[in-house]
């Protein structure tokens, strides 16, 4: 592993100049897990407080703050030779400030293709191209099989937040996963993560309402209010990681989507 990746372009079309990284900081939970699965145990020196997978890293790796509240002093102390972030999950001003001092590689994930491309690129820039290619091939095959078996579509609303209520709409990775899993997003005509009211939800008449486990931790106690507003809709707490994490956790998403469809008992 002696290659030099001198001019690597990230998803923001910025040219990042660096050699094979030995001290990596990851600012995104799903990408942190992917780095672990690539076998970069020694190379990753810092993560965020939201990087909960793998649990061993969460317990032992240095934490540099939250995804949007980075501590620059902690980052400086780790002396990174590569910082890996994401356009949506990290704050632009903080990323730009970091890029003045360190090589920063930024992803921008909206589609499944984006996610797989990110995995291949990170595999190349960390010297783990073969391992990344293996994972991408596995994920691609699983999703192709899922899409071939997904012949029906149900109108769905996907909630990510409460007080105010917020849903996933177009231009998001969650929207992409909903489509692939067989759901028509009733708020797909809106952009990103709009706030909505329960009256708006009732007017949309979804067949099912998906309440995400993250970032807001929806629980069974929250179902009643949605059932009152949409009495005919099926309502389910869903694993937010499997709808929104775009790294190696995608290996588990197709089977989960099949199981969820059966749980909702769609004919």
Contacts of 189 (CB under 8 A, 6+ apart): 169, 170
Cα–Cα distances in angstroms (integers) from residue 176 to residues 157, 192, 259, in the given order: 13, 12, 18
- Is the per-residue pLDDT at 10 higher than 70? no
Residue range 151-263, CATH number: 3.40.50.1980
Instruction: State both tokens at 205.
Output: 């008449």
Beta bridge mates, 83: 25, 104
Q: For residues 101 and 152, which has the higher predicted lDDT (pLDDT)?
A: 101
Average pLDDT over all residues of the chain: 91
Determine whether domain 8-142 maps to CATH 3.40.50.1980: yes
Predicted pLDDT of residue 11: 52
Task: Work out the percent of the chain whose per-residue pLDDT is above 70.
Answer: 91
12-22 pLDDT, tens per residue?
445 566 678 99
**Alpha carbon distance 81, 142 (integer Å):** 34
Tens of pLDDT, residues 61-71: 999 999 999 99
Contacts by 213-222 with C-beta closer than 8 Å and gap 24+? 213/237, 213/238, 213/239, 213/240, 213/241, 214/160, 214/240, 214/241, 214/244, 215/160, 215/161, 215/240, 216/159, 216/160, 216/161, 216/162, 218/159, 218/162, 222/162
Look at residue 18 in the predicted model and tell me its pLDDT.
Answer: 62
188 vs 152, residue with greater confidence: 188
- pLDDT at position 262, please? 85
pLDDT of 14: 53
For residue 219, what are the contacts with CB-CB under 8 A and spacing of at least 6? 237
pLDDT of 200 above 70: yes
* Domains of the chain by residue range: 8-142, 151-263
Residue 229 has pLDDT above 80, yes or no: yes
Mean pLDDT of 40-67: 96
Q: What is the pLDDT of residue 264?
A: 82
> Using one digit for the tens of pLDDT, what is the confidence trace for 131-163?
999 999 999 999 999 987 765 678 999 999 999
Judge whether 8-142 and 151-263 match in fold: yes
**Per-residue confidence band for 6, with pLDDT thresholds at 50, 70 and 90:** very low
Which band of pLDDT confidence, cut at 50, 70 and 90, is reported for residue 263?
confident
Give the range among 15-19, 56-60, 86-90, 167-171 with minimum mean pLDDT.
15-19
């Amino acid at each position: 592993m002696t290659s030099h990746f001198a001019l690597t372009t990230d998803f923001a079309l910025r040219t990042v100049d660096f050699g094979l990284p030995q001290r990596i900081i990851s600012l995104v939970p799903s990408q942190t897990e992917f780095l672990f699965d690539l076998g970069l145990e020694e190379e990753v020196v810092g993560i965020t407080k939201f990087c909960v997978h793998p649990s061993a890293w969460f317990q032992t790796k240095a934490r540099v703050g939250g995804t949007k509240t980075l501590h620059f002093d902690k980052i400086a102390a780790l002396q990174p030779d590569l910082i890996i972030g994401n356009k949506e999950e990290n704050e632009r001003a903080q990323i730009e400030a970091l890029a003045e001092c360190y090589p920063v590689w930024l992803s921008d994930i909206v589609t499944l293709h984006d996610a797989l491309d990110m995995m291949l690129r990170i595999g190349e820039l960390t010297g783990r191209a073969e391992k990344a290619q293996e994972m991408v091939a596995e994920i691609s095959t699983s999703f192709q099989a899922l899409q071939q078996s997904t012949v029906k579509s149900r109108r769905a609303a996907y909630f990510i937040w409460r007080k105010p209520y917020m849903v996933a709409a177009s231009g998001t990775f969650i929207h992409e996963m909903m489509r692939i899993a067989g759901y028509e997003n009733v708020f797909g005509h809106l952009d990103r993560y709009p706030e909505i009211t329960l009256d708006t939800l009732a007017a949309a008449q979804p067949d099912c309402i998906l309440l995400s486990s993250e970032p807001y931790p929806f629980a069974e106690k929250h179902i009643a209010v949605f059932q009152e507003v949409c009495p005919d809709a099926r309502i389910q707490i869903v694993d937010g990681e499997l709808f929104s994490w775009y790294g190696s956790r995608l290996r588990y998403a197709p089977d989960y989507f099949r199981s969820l469809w059966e749980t909702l008992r769609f004919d």
